[in-house]
Chain A
Amino acid sequence: MRDVISAAVGKTVRQVARLRGGGSALPGLVVEKIDPGFLGRVLGRLPYGVVAVSGTNGKTTTTKMVVEMLEARGLRVFTNKTGSNFSRGVVAAAIQECSLSGRIDADVAVIELDEAHAMYFINRVPPRFTLLLNVLRDQLDRFGEIDTTARYLQRIADATTGGLVVNREDRLVARIGEITRERAGGPQVRDFGLAPDLLATFPSDDDFHADAAAAPSPEPADAVPADVTLTKLGDHKATFVIDGEDHHTSLKLEGLYNTFNAAAALSTVRMILAAGPQAGQSIANQPTADSAAIVEALSQVRPAFGRGEQLVLDDQPLELVLVKNPAGFRLGLASFEAAGVATMIAINDQYADGRDMSWLWDVDFSTLATDGVNLISGTRAWDMALRLEHDDVAVGHVEEDLGAALTAFRERTMGQPRRIYCTYTAMLELRRALALVTDVEDIW
């Protein structure tokens, strides 16, 4: 009965909020107040339980990969698609999708959890499976130091009941895996990782803080064998080793980091499918953890919005690359060839971007020096211009206003392929402006 009341109240609030043009999290807020156990009950009774995806970088795209691979294998998946990865957003999404009896028509929930807000969620819903991606510098002004973030992720791991997937190549995340392995009665732990010759392609923050001449931290001789290892990278191609077998695949995803996160998603999906439904539950046509079929499903996953998203503008490709921290920007620069493409950079410092611009000084922009940057925009355009000046990168034009900048960028670069590196809120604004002049996919 309680579920029915909460579902009804939530749905009513949602309708009222929509009529008033309000935020998506309000119904969540109201139901949380009247029924704090709602989310736990509704998601807890799904046959495959709850899968949490956390870490500082790549959550949205990785969650999308896990969801789409599970769906391709025949599972019905509930997820927090709007990217509202705070707990109330999840409650709101649950209210939207549940029936009036408070049931969600799904086999499994895959939830993107913002590391700092995860505590609120896991106190209500212990995840059955958890994937921990990385601890990179990101929005430190909101979340404090890296060590603090690692402690949050540790607590998500501690709350996990069935299985944990960790990044073997991220020192802090790998450590969480070790601690969990040593804990009696803890969840099963699997690692995803990189072949040794790819380690240098994905520098950790530790390597990053060292000077360029210093070698990356040496691979320990007794490295944990990974469940899924990324062994080869190509242009929209990758090779993953699973159970000693090479799986070559094409990818629609963009960027090196997404390819590495694909190894994380593969390992997670393998673990979920191998475990099957929770005790006492069953589903019709239970899928098997067939690696070839999962890799095939991966090859069909398209980027989440703004994450290497490809649009067409004036009959030329336009690529949007989201950048929000030094490691991400550096990988973005390494992932995309600068030559022959007109470049724009849009840096905002709204709350959702993080107000602190110091991180721009931790990115090496010298790869842009050959062709220069056509246009810089955003609230902190001049900080970006100053940064590029220090790496001797020529800048064509600085225009703080994003709308005016996009118009100018179009006029100045007609007939050329284009790429825009942008922070989160700059990307949202650019997508809105672009939607007026070309096809832009609805936010995933």
Chain B
Amino acid sequence: MTHSQETTRELVILSLYPRDMNIYGDRGNVLALSRRARAQGFTPVVVDLNPGDALPEHIDIVIGGGGQDSGQARVAADLAGRREQFHQLAEAGAPMLLVCGLYQLFGHRFITSTDETLEGIGVLDVETRGGSERMIGNIVLESADFGEVIGYENHSGNTTLGEGSTPFGRVLQGAGNNPTSGAEGARSHNVIGTYLHGSLLPKNPAVSDFLIAQAAKARYGSFEPVAGIDETTERARASAKRRPR
């Protein structure tokens, strides 16, 4: 591969519903993914998808966050019409990171605490029920693929996994999917759903690298990491880990 090809290797990042599903610093994940892609030698191209927008022709990575109840209903309606497209993408191995509200909507359904049902698109084999207890606080996970994952959770949804999904991580400190399972998040194909919002990717470059690697392999045939973890990231991880819940 020549040098000029290397500097122009683009990755198209589809940012899902930044207008409605962008609370708790979800914008930080898009920022961090772009920056990490650049550090790994790619040119990130972020494409926003808001309700009613056409999907871009080519998508390398999909990323989305959480929102208010009102925004979530609007997004559920828009997602319903794109169900097949996202299933095809997921089955083709496209890497995706869905946080909080979109994690729930990429599952089968979200049943609110008042028994209303928001239908999801079922890319992840999970179901969520609104609970009375809010699970809030600094959280630490352990996962085989990403090592120690450090973040912050804030949700009242209780998510349970079906057989088609495996957890994103095992909870070392915090609540995770629900108060009893000890698991956090869900994966199937290269899709990750999680309640760790906001600064998940800035503090966990291993997760960014996973998304970038899958995308790079699919589009360019290989991924050779060139960026390590810098001191600032290490220190931010360490201080977050020792803070109280």
Identify the A interface with B (CB < 8 A): 137, 140-141, 144-147, 209-211, 214, 349, 355-362, 379-383, 385-387, 389-390, 398, 400
- Tell me the residues in window 119-172 of chain B with beta carbons closer than 8 Å to chain A beta carbons: 134, 136-138, 152, 154
Tell me whether B198 and A356 are in contact (CB under 8 A): yes
Given contacts A147-B69, A361-B199, A390-B35, whether A382 and B239 have CB atoms under 8 Å apart is: yes
Q: Shortest CB–CB separation between residue A84 and chain B, in angstroms?
A: 23
Given contacts A210-B18, A385-B232, whether A361 and B28 have CB atoms under 8 Å apart is: yes
Tell me whether B23 and A356 are in contact (CB under 8 A): no
Q: Residue B233 at the A interface, CB < 8 A? A: yes
8 contacts between A and B (CB under 8 A): A209-B22, A355-B245, A357-B198, A358-B152, A385-B235, A386-B236, A389-B230, A400-B239
Most buried by A among B28, B35, B152, B235: B28
Query: For residue A210, which residues in chain B have a CB less than 8 angstroms away from its CB?
Result: 18-19
Interface size on B, residues (CB 8 A): 40
DSSP class of B's interface residues: helix, strand, loop or mixed? Answer: mixed
Query: For residue B19, which residues in chain A have a CB less than 8 angstroms away from its CB?
Result: 209-211, 214
Q: Shortest CB–CB separation between residue B78 and chain A, in angstroms?
A: 16
Q: Shortest CB–CB separation between residue A132 and chain B, in angstroms?
A: 19
Query: For residue B202, which residues in chain A have a CB less than 8 angstroms away from its CB?
Result: 361, 386-387, 390
Alpha-carbon distance between A102 and B147 when the two chains are bound, in angstroms: 63
Tell me whether A357 and B152 are in contact (CB under 8 A): yes
Tell me whether B232 and A386 are in contact (CB under 8 A): yes
Known: A357-B25, A359-B24. 17 other contacts (CB 8 A): A141-B154, A145-B69, A211-B18, A356-B136, A357-B240, A359-B198, A360-B28, A361-B31, A379-B243, A380-B236, A382-B232, A382-B236, A383-B239, A385-B232, A385-B235, A386-B199, A387-B202
Alpha-carbon distance between A90 and B236 when the two chains are bound, in angstroms: 39
- 7 A-B pairs closest in CB distance: A358-B198, A361-B28, A358-B25, A361-B25, A382-B235, A382-B236, A386-B236
Query: For residue B138, which residues in chain A have a CB less than 8 angstroms away from its CB?
Result: 355
Query: For residue A387, which residues in chain B have a CB less than 8 angstroms away from its CB?
Result: 28, 202
Tell me whether A358 and B199 are in contact (CB under 8 A): yes
Tell me whether B20 and A209 are in contact (CB under 8 A): yes
Tell me whether A355 and B244 are in contact (CB under 8 A): yes
